[in-house]
Amino acid sequence: MGLLRTRRGISLLSFATVMAVACVLLGLWQLDRYQQRGERNEAVRSALGSEAVPLDSLVPPGTAPEQGSSEVEWRRVVVRGSFDPQVELALRLRPVQGQSGVHAFGLLVLEDGRAVLVDRGFVPTTSRSTDSVDLPAATSGPVEIVGRVRLSEGGRGAGLDSDSDPPSIRFVDVADLQSFSSAPLTGVWLERVEQVPAEDSSLTAVPAPQLSSGTSLIYAVQWFLFGVIAVVGFVLLARRDAAQPAAETDVREPSSDQLA
């Protein structure tokens, strides 16, 4: 190819090669992300479908699972105890399926002397403002709760606003919220699924997470296509460059009629 004998051709080949390799690597990276997300979704799906077990069988007293632990998070557990009527928290800026609202958090004192933070349910609002939402009081007396295990959002702090009524938080950092409980908090918190006696009807139980494969597969295909375009584009330029000298020769060469 004549194009490869020129500095311009070598530059174009280098550019096309780098682009093709980069696109392939980015496509493989997106495929890896797609596979990882699929594995996480399968782990979450398995946890959500598991039978409810006692909390201490998953999180023994004095322990806390590591961040990202797939063996514990989203598992269903059973706890029994009574809500501390003095502790009420509002988790804000955490919409549910696009709906603005407030999560009502209570402190459940367990039969073994520990305590666990429980997302009792969600109160939707008609606007983005959540400052004037009234949260119903927690059920008095002994209760039994089936809940989904959630990991502490540690390292962020709770984002506590103690001046609001009730005090509001932005993150569920268990260690940062220990000051609200005289009993030691478990290393996880729960999302209520079922409760006996039933919770106040104004509170909607937080639904299970919606699992999606995301857009990584689409992005992977796009990157591979960009790589193909880089290669095809260079080949077309090379073919056009190779055809130009022949075309120029045909134009310059006089015909036999002209010579006569």
Quick: pLDDT tens for 34-81: 999 998 899 889 999 989 999 989 888 877 776 556 678 999 999 999
Distance CA 223, CA 30 (A): 9
Quick: pLDDT tens for 82-129: 999 999 999 998 999 889 999 999 999 998 889 999 999 999 987 666
Query: Among 144, 167, 196, which residue terminates a domain?
Result: 196
Whole-number pLDDT of residue 69: 61
Question: Count of domains in the chain?
Answer: 2
**48 occurs within a structural domain:** no
Quick: pLDDT tens for 100-113: 999 999 999 998 88
Q: Give CA separation, 38 vs 47, 50, 113, 161, 213, in Å.
A: 14, 18, 39, 37, 6
Query: Among 196, 230, 247, which residue terminates a domain?
Result: 196
Residues 91 and 23 in one domain: no
Residues 26 and 123 in one domain: no
Residues 150 and 232 in one domain: no
Quick: pLDDT tens for 158-189: 899 888 888 999 999 999 999 999 999 999 99
Residues 176 and 221 in one domain: no
Residues 93 and 134 in one domain: yes
Residues 176 and 82 in one domain: yes
What DSSP state is assigned to residue 100?
A: -
Residues 139 and 79 in one domain: yes
Query: Among 196, 230, 248, which residue terminates a domain?
Result: 196
Residues 84 and 187 in one domain: yes
Look up the domain containing 248 and give its range: 2-37+214-259
This prediction has a pTM of: 0.76
Question: Please, are residues 161 and 168 in contact by the beta-carbon 8 Å criterion?
Answer: yes
Residues 180 and 81 in one domain: yes
CA angle 46, 52, 54 (to 5 degrees): 125
Residues 147 and 118 in one domain: yes
Residues 94 and 185 in one domain: yes
* N-terminal to C-terminal alpha carbon distance within the chain: 36
Residues 143 and 233 in one domain: no
